[in-house]
Amino acid sequence: MVAMTKSIGEPIDVAAMRGDRCPDVFLWRGDRYQVVETGGAWHLLGRWWEGDGERCFIRVLTDTGKTFDLCRYASTEQWHVYRVWD
C-alpha cells in the first residue's frame, strides 16, 4: 500500500489547543477534527533573506482517521493544513 499526500497550504480555525504545542480541535473546509494522536514535530526556517520566518510542523491523526501535517507560522501564530495523507 502506498500513501499519497496532497499539499494544501490552507488556514484552519483552531477551536481548542493541546497546551501550546498543537491544536486539539480544528475546523477546516467546514468540518471539525479532533486530534487523537500526534506524531513527529519539526521546524523549518524560510527564506530569511526575504523575510520568511520559522515554520513549525506537527503530524496529527484525527478522529476521522485522516492524517494531517499542520503548520504554524511563527511570525503570525496562524495554523495551516500543510499536507493531507490519504
The three cell numbers of residue 33 are 477534527
pLDDT at res. 54: 87
Sign of CA dihedral 43, 63, 86, 37: positive
Asked if 46 and 56 touch (Cβ cutoff 8 Å), the reply is: no
pLDDT at res. 61: 96
Q: What is the mean pLDDT of the chain?
A: 88
DSSP 8-state assignment for residue 49: G
pLDDT digits 0-9 by tens, 43-81: 988 777 777 788 999 999 999 999 999 999 888 889 999
Read off the pTM. 0.86
Is pLDDT above 60 for 29? yes
pLDDT at res. 71: 95
Average pLDDT estimate for 23-39: 95
